[in-house]
Amino acid sequence: MALTIHDIADRFEINDLLVRYCYAVDDRDWDSYQKVFTPDAVIDDTIIGGVRSGVEDHIVFMKKALAKIKISQHAISTVLLTVHGNEANTRVHCSCPMVVDVGDGKTQFFSRFITMCRTGLHSDQPPNHALQRTAAGCRDCNRRASWPPSLSLGR
């Protein structure tokens, strides 16, 4: 099946949204982070030790959680994206190497690998993993982190 120009534009817009998320977290740019999501978004990072909350509460959590992280670099890859008209299903692998302040002037390298799942471009999509088309462009209205299926870690 050949992609239409509209399908290609959707793919670029969704990819840009994913990239903006990565840079916003790594730069601790909470204004940009907020713009990745709809105001009523639900963000669920509980599988990786985070919280399930709205955007404002998640920013408060992220500031605390990242306080000892000196450097982080979210990198997305293996983007599985299926666009059907105004709906899209996405699954994105994300690796995030970090340098952690462990005290006494010492740091330690740490890396986390997660899968970010999102589905849909409409507000009428199921409430989990949804992307929403807004006047300002594509926004994330529900994000859930999970372990990659091949990495069970006893979960």
pLDDT values of the chain reduced to their tens digit, one per residue, 155 residues: 687 888 788 888 888 988 999 999 999 999 999 998 888 888 888 877 889 899 999 999 999 999 999 999 998 888 877 766 555 667 788 888 999 999 999 999 988 777 665 544 433 333 334 576 777 777 776 666 655 444 433 43
Residue 57, Cβ neighbours under 10 Å: how many?
A: 12
Q: Please give the domain boundaries of the chain with CATH numbers for all domains.
A: 5-146 (3.10.450.50)
> Tokens standing for 119?
């589905």
Strand intervals (E) in 12-136 = 37-44, 52-53, 69-72, 75-84, 87-103, 106-119, 131-134
- What's the pTM value of the predicted model, to 2 decimals? 0.80
